[in-house]
Structure 1
């Protein structure tokens, strides 16, 4: 296993933990409800 694979595994694990955070999910859901169609600047 090289450094890239190790880094990818760590990033994936951190991303999964982040996405499974209830607070983050709440923010994502509220954001989707408040801005279902984000305005492109």
Structure 2
């Protein structure tokens, strides 16, 4: 039973991470663009 609960928890956890990834990618790209501008200066 414990293993099944753990697997279900991991599944929902990874699902949450996948849903959050796109937002994190956008933030990372914005931060990268700011860094590039600083490098150009």
Band the TM-score falls in, shorter-chain normalisation: 0.5 to 0.7
Give a deviation string over 1:4-30, Cα, whole Å, max 9, x none.
100000010010011133xx3221112
Distance of 1:25 and 1:5 partners within structure 2: 27
Q: Secondary structure in 2 aligned to 1:2?
A: helix
Across the aligned residues of Structure 1 and Structure 2, the Cα RMSD in angstroms comes to 2.1
More RCO (CA 8 Å, sep 6+): 1
Larger Rg belongs to: 2
Q: How many residues align?
A: 32
